[in-house]
């Protein structure tokens, strides 16, 4: 096998990330755990304070947000493809 | 053999536009599709939706900035069971509108290897550029996008592929051992 | 953890541990900056966590992570808007001769690869770190296979030229 390609495989072989990388990722990905009694208090407050109208508004808002993200996703993929092609040619 | 048609560079181009600039008459395509996504977001709905975007999420923060000046996004996305289910003629009602004097096709990319095509038009009024139209086709997918408002195409491009799962097929051969 | 993801064998913790080296190394070899590479790698895994429900299998997860790592690395490279300019005089004086596997030669090669433009640089990383075939690289980078091969040929020729001018090559090995 070609000596340069051998050396490149050696030079570009995978390296481990710094110690604790996985733990940091997992810690930041874990949803924040509330103590049980705070969950109960929070739920009671939502029912009393938010009211049906507020909850409905939030539901509609999140629905609209998902539609917006879907629209942007569908629009951005072809634009990204075009730009990748142009960048690939110009280099 | 891949052929690339470049008409102009797709630079970072802020674009201002007017609401729903052309009709998305795609009944012929819809009739043949096995799946159909239809998203129509007016200015008021966009602003409402943007309030629920998470500013701490890098991608959602970009979307929030992107939509700040948009007056409307209208997207039609179709998927088909077989490769010859639709034809270019089905898209003619839309393409015909984009041949109007206010529209200019700024870039067209096509690949005869995998059958993918993307065409982008800008709409102009006087010296100002207004409006973006995109028609993207693959053998089993058609996507038509109509964006009205000020949009940064560079940011839109950056978001491409970041959302959801990029089109990545699970490979057939065994993965390189870790 | 979504039940579908668990059933597909897509345990997030396991995916992080299994693929952290791949994701980190793509960013590292492309950006040549450990801090930036770690940030990019973290973002890639956060993105996986948000989209875990859509992953179909462990193999799909690996391919997805590779593609997103490539995209995020390229985006970060553009944000930084600079390519390391390694003038020959900036590179530490090499040993009179390298032996195969010499760490100094590896370091030199990594720095020379880092001076390549964006597209050929990522092509080289995917070829020699990930062992991808040109057709697979073309799919990841959404570029023609012919362009991938051209980038590989020209990059290898450039590297070979720079090394051979400094007496590094098959004829340059000791023993």
DSSP string for residues in B93-123? HHHHHTTSTTEEEEEEEE-TTT--EEEEEEE
DSSP code at position B83: T
Nearest C-alpha neighbor of B69 from the set B158, B157, B152, B10: B152
Q: Give the DSSP letter string of C98-153.
A: PPTT-HHHHHHHHHHHHTS-HHHHHHHHHHHTT---HHHHHHHHT--HHHHHHHHH
**Residue bearing the bigger pLDDT, B41 or A84:** B41
Contacts of A88 in chain C (CB under 8 A): 119, 141-144, 147
Dist. CA A51–CA B19, nearest whole Å: 35
Chain A contact for B118 (CB, 8 A cutoff): yes
Average pLDDT, integer, range C67-92: 70
Of A24-28, C65-69, C137-141, least confident by mean pLDDT is A24-28
pLDDT of residue B10: 39
Helices (H), A2-50: 3-11, 21-29, 36-45
Over its C-alpha atoms, chain B yields an Rg (Å, rounded) of: 17
Residues of chain B in contact with residue A64, where contact means CB-CB under 8 angstroms, are 41, 45, 48-49, 52
> Can you give the pLDDT at residue C1?
40
Query: Average pLDDT of C13-17?
Result: 91
Q: Is 0.80 surpassed by the pTM of this model?
A: no
Per the prediction, chain C carries an average pLDDT of 82
Residue B29: CB atoms within 10 A of its CB come to: 23
pLDDT, tens digit (0-9, with 9 covering 90-100), for A13-65: 999 999 999 988 888 776 544 444 555 556 666 666 556 677 778 778 888 88
Query: What per-residue confidence (pLDDT) applies to A38?
Result: 54
Of 1.10.10.10, 1.20.1300.10, 1.10.760.10, 1.20.120.1630, the CATH number of C88-172 is: 1.10.10.10
Choose the weakest-confidence range: A71-75, B73-77, C99-103. Answer: C99-103
Q: How far is A48 from chain C (nearest CA, A)?
A: 30
A75: left (phi over 0), alpha (psi -120 to 50) or beta: alpha
Q: Using alpha carbons, select from B98, B107, B82, B93 the residue that is nearest to residue B10.
A: B107
What tokens were used for C125?
A: 């990383």
User: Cβ separation of A78 and B51 shorter than 8 Å?
Assistant: no
Give the pair of three-digit tokens for residue C148. 């991938």
| Neighbouring residues of B86: CB distance < 8 A, sequence distance ≥ 6 | B29, B32, B33, B78, B80, B142
Instruction: Provide, as residue numbers in chain A, all residues whose Cβ is less than 8 Å from the Cβ of C142.
Output: 81, 84-85, 88
pLDDT at A15: 95
- Residue of B53, B118, B170, B176 for testing the chain C interface, max C β-carbons within 10 Å: B170
**Closest CB to C67 among B113, B158, B166:** B166
Distance between CA C107 and CA C104 in Å, rounded?
5
- Indicate the pLDDT class of residue C52, thresholds 50, 70 and 90: confident
Q: How far is it between the farthest Cα atoms of chain A?
A: 73
* C16 pLDDT tier (thresholds 50, 70, 90): very high
Question: CB–CB of B25/B93 below 8 Å?
Answer: yes
Give phi and psi for B31, each to the nearest 5. Answer: -65, -25
How far, in Å, CA of B83 to CA of A88, rounded?
A: 27
Between residues C4 and B35, the one the model is more confident about = B35
Among A84, A76, A82, residue whose Cα is nearest residue B106: A82
**Residue segments in chain B with a per-residue pLDDT below the cut of 50:** 1-14, 16-18, 164-165, 175
Helices C134-141 and C145-164, packing angle to 10 deg: 110
The residue ranking higher by pLDDT, A52 or A5, is A5
C41 at interface of A, judged by CB pairs closer than 8 A: yes
Please state the rounded mean pLDDT for residues C62-77: 91
Interface contact C106-A10, CB threshold 8 A: yes
Token pair for residue C109?
Answer: 């090669």
Q: Which pLDDT band holds residue C116 (cuts at 50, 70, 90)? A: very high
CA torsion angle for A61, A66, A68, A74 (degrees, to 10)?
-170
pLDDT for position C41? 95
CATH number for C3-80: choose from 3.90.550.10, 2.40.37.10, 1.10.1740.10, 3.50.40.10.
Answer: 1.10.1740.10
- pLDDT at position C6 is 47
Q: Please report, rounded to a whole number, the percentage of residues in chain B having pLDDT higher than 70.
A: 77
Contact A81 B156 (CB under 8 A): no
Predicted ipTM of the assembly: 0.83
Residue C110 touches chain A, beta carbons under 8 Å? yes
CB-closest option in A9, A15, A89 to C28: A15
Instruction: Check residue C136 and give its pLDDT.
Output: 93
Q: What pLDDT digit, counting tens, does each position of B150-178 carry?
A: 788 888 887 775 554 455 555 555 545 55
Residues of C in contact with B158 (CB under 8 A): 75
Residue B166 has its nearest CB partner, among C43, C68, C75, at C68
Give A75 to chain B, closest Cα distance, Å.
Answer: 6
Domain boundaries defined on chain C: 3-80, 88-172
What tens digit of pLDDT does each residue of C35-44 get?
A: 999 999 999 9
């Amino acid at each position: 096998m070609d000596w340069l390609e051998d050396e490149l495989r050696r030079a570009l072989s995978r390296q481990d990330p710094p110690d604790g990388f996985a733990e940091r990722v997992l810690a930041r990905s874990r949803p924040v755990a509330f103590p049980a009694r705070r969950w109960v208090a929070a739920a009671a407050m939502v029912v009393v304070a938010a009211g049906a109208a507020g909850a409905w508004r939030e539901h509609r808002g999140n629905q609209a947000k998902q539609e917006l993200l879907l629209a942007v996703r569908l629009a951005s993929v072809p634009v990204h493809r075009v730009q990748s092609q142009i960048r690939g040619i110009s280099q | 053999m891949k052929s690339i048609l470049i008409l102009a560079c797709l630079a970072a181009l802020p674009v201002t536009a007017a609401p729903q600039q052309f009709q998305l008459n795609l009944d012929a395509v819809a009739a043949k599709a096995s799946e159909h996504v239809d998203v129509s977001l007016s200015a008021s709905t966009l602003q409402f939706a943007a309030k629920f975007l998470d500013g701490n999420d890098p991608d959602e923060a970009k979307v929030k900035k992107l939509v700040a000046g948009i007056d409307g996004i209208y997207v039609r996305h179709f998927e088909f069971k077989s490769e010859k289910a639709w034809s270019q003629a089905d898209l003619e009602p839309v393409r015909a509108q984009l041949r109007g004097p206010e529209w200019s096709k700024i870039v067209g990319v096509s690949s005869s290897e995998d059958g993918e095509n993307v065409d982008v038009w800008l709409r102009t009024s006087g010296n100002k550029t207004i409006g973006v139209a995109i028609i993207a086709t693959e053998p089993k997918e058609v996507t038509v996008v109509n964006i009205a408002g000020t949009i940064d195409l560079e940011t839109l491009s950056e978001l491409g592929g970041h959302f959801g799962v990029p089109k990545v097929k699970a490979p057939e051969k065994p993965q390189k051992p870790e | 953890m979504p039940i579908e993801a668990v059933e597909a064998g897509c345990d997030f913790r396991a995916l992080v541990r299994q693929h952290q080296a791949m994701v980190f190394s793509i960013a590292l070899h492309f950006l040549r900056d450990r801090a930036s590479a770690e940030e990019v790698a973290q973002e890639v895994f956060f993105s996986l966590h948000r989209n875990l429900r859509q992953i179909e299998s462990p193999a799909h997860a690996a391919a997805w992570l590779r593609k997103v790592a490539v995209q995020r690395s390229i985006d970060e490279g553009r944000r930084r808007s600079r390519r390391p300019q390694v003038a020959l005089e900036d590179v530490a004086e090499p040993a009179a001769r390298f032996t195969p596997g010499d760490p100094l030669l590896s370091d030199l090669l990594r720095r020379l690869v880092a001076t390549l433009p964006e597209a050929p640089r990522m092509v080289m990383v995917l070829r020699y770190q990930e062992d991808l075939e040109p057709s697979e690289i073309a799919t990841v980078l959404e570029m023609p296979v012919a362009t991938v091969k051209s980038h590989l040929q020209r990059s290898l020729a450039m590297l070979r030229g720079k090394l051979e001018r400094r007496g590094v090559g098959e004829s340059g090995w000791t023993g």
